[in-house]
Amino acid sequence: MDLRVEQLTAGYDGRTVVDAVDLVVESGQVVAVVGPNGCGKSTLLRTMARLHTPRAGRVLAGGADIASLGRREMAHRVALLPQSPQAPEAVTVAGLVRYGRHPHQGLFRQWSREDERAVERALDATGTTALAERRLDELSGGQRQRCWLAMALAQETPLLLLDEPTSALDIGHAVEVLELVRSIAASGRTIVMVLHDLAGAARYADTVVALLDGRVVASGPPRTTIGTDLVRELYGIETEILFASSDGAPVVVPAGRAAPAV
């Protein structure tokens, strides 16, 4: 399912945070949204998930304006994994993943064998089957993040929105999560994720979208989009851009603060 954002504008308390953003994500693609703190990345994701009402513009999921969808239909199309998800105390991994099936429940539709199979598929896809009966609070950060992804997968939506899925993870666990994201996309799901890690965005995303002050200032394949000028504009630092010998992905090496503009 494709995702289209058209002239989306959103904000808080009279302040514009996302300003006339356009974005097209084709089915099965991974888009990484990058930019400095406070540039509007999370607000953009929350508005795309209909947790925040836009001032202007619209979001189309599979051609349907999400503003026109019922709650159940919306939950069948789009899943959001927020930046700091909260779980009930002492919940097991299996219990957490089952929460992903709530949009499929209803007055005349209770827990079924199909729900159980969806949970099993999500656990298997994220490599967390062996952790199913463990408590979430007993696990490492990387394990927990894979469990949260399993919950989002269990919802079985074609569109996944991930807000900083590698936040607070060491480099090993971050790579583990990003490789999982890539494998999820290979199964046909469409993913938009907010990342601070430019190297991760360059290697694992099909498209990088750079935000600054709520506006898109660059968008395209990582190899042609991430460069010294863009990094200077976003973060105010000078860099060297190297290219990985394995696949040509750009690697950003900081070289100090940029000189102030004269």
User: pTM of the prediction?
Assistant: 0.89
* CATH architecture of the domain with residue range 3-257: 3-Layer(aba) Sandwich (3.40)
pLDDT for the residue numbered 56: 96
Can you give the length of the chain in residues? 262
Q: Quick one: 262 exposed, middle or buried, by C-beta within 10 A (0-12, 13-18, 19+)?
A: exposed
CA 91 remoteness from chain centre: 24
d(CA 25, CA 57): 16
pLDDT for the residue numbered 129: 94
10-residue mean pLDDT series, the chain (262 residues): 95 92 95 95 95 95 94 90 84 92 68 87 91 92 88 91 88 88 92 93 95 96 94 94 88 84 59
**Half-sphere CA count of 138, side-chain side, radius 13 A:** 9
d(CA 155, CA 104): 8
d(CA 38, CA 47): 15
Separation of first and last alpha carbons in the chain? 47
Phi and psi, residue 45, nearest 5°: -65, -45
- Inter-residue contact 72 to 84 (CB < 8 Å): no
d(CA 168, CA 138): 17
Query: Sign of torsion, CA 139 140 143 149?
Result: positive
d(CA 64, CA 77): 10
**How far, in Å, are 174, 258, 259 from residue 262 at the CA level?**
39, 12, 9
Domain ranges of the chain: 3-257
pLDDT for the residue numbered 163: 93
Most distant CA pair in the chain: distance in Å?
Answer: 67
